[in-house]
Structure 1
Amino acid sequence: MEINARYTSFVAVGDSFTEGMSDALPDGSYRGWADLLAARLAARQRSHADGPPPAFHYANLAVRGKLIGQILDEQCGPAAAMGADLVTLVGGLNDVLRPKCDVDRVCAQLAEAADRLAQGPGRLVLMRSPGRQGPVMERFRSRMEQLFAHIDALAERHGAVVVDLYASRALSDPRLWADDRLHLNDEGHRRVAEAVWQALDLDAESDWDAPLPAAAPPGWGARRSADLRFAREHLVPWIGRRLTGRSSGDGRPAKRPELLPYEG
């Protein structure tokens, strides 16, 4: 099925997951699944061109910490105006993981965002976000599942693609998550890029949901040391931002705010 043949441009909309945290590059910036996907689409366009290929264009408007209302207000208008062939929208998880959340309102804002992006010419991709197993996951599971059921309904309404990462066997493995326990590491992002690639009916490069090889669990001392490091470096700053009403994305621009040529 050659629905992918027209993908000459791609715009990504969302929060830290789409920005690429925590797939860190040597210079301290983040890559992530969207950059990986854009690079593969650009390479595919070059390999399938008859003669000099046109440039592949890519924009990533995602900013860490953004709630779905902010994504709707700040990113969806510019993204829709770009008229890209492919548009991804991932948002709402930052909302439902907060202690107080009106899930119905989050769903309504996500619907408005999807409606706006679906008006353009591009193919819309939505995601059921991955979840690391543990107490946080269990506490908010019902909210997440309400959000994901709404995403399925939006996809049906708009003929959008849904990439189901929530049901993944592999992405619940702690070894695919960064030290902050909120974001995927480089291998996790690589698997998400492969999952989106396959959802677009492109030839599989690997089994993105293959379980990692069995390994002995870390000992008690190693787990306690990791817990203390997590609390000091990630949990305490996160609590501080919540108490002061700040966000990790305050004042931060998108890393690729314009639809520009991209080779990866």
Structure 2
Amino acid sequence: MVELKSRAEIERMRVTGRFVADVLSELRERAQVGVNLLDLEKHVRRRIQERGATSCYWDYAPSFGRGPFRNTICLSVNDAVLHGLPFDYTLRDGDVLSMDLAVEIDGWVADSAVTVIVGSASEEDRRLVCATEEALAAAIAVAVPGNRIGDISAAIAGVARSYGYPINTEFGGHGLGRTMHEDPHVPNNGKPGRGFRLVPGLTLALEPWFAATTDRIFTDPDGWTLRSADGSRTAHSEHTIAVTEDGPTVLTLAA
């Protein structure tokens, strides 16, 4: 069931979104060579506690994970792209790190992800990260009343194809608001003009992610982290948006 939000409810989601964006901005600065992933996790825990917020990941137990997730952020390194379980790993020069954060404040959720390159960056890795950012921008641009989910999906896929990257549709974007995952599902590939019609009040998390040379993934032995099947590098970008009468509004922007 798709739940539409009022203007006031969207503004409450924006409050959460700004907090999420601010924390991710802090993590961008902290993700340096020599920093341990667990230190980034500790920073997020502290910020959530200080704000009186609630992590959407803590105790999260979907069918695809192994038991409840006991961390507050997903940290995915190099060939890991989604649901990365923070562990005792020290960042190295050239690592590609995706950071995905979902938080609830006063009953309203926002979800966002960024990918950074630690230290020196290869041209190939820059290109991969850039592709996800461009795909996200393209998806947001078509999230207007009257269009359909398929238009968003096709926009993402169009950017992926222009870069020559394969597309996986097992995991993609989703509705959100009172909970982290709501209807509708937003795959990263689709046909224009198909699917649920976009209307004002619809709130979505759009999240293009690509692996450099494969569209297949597998689950790490930790039971959570999803990795590219061939070990190729990955990247992930995400924003929470609202469809409004005036066009798409990004809710996960820093204050």
> Is the pair's TM-score, using the shorter chain for normalization, greater than 0.5?
no
Q: TM-score, normalised by structure 1?
A: 0.28
Q: TM-score, normalised by structure 2?
A: 0.29
Pick the structure with more strand per residue: 2
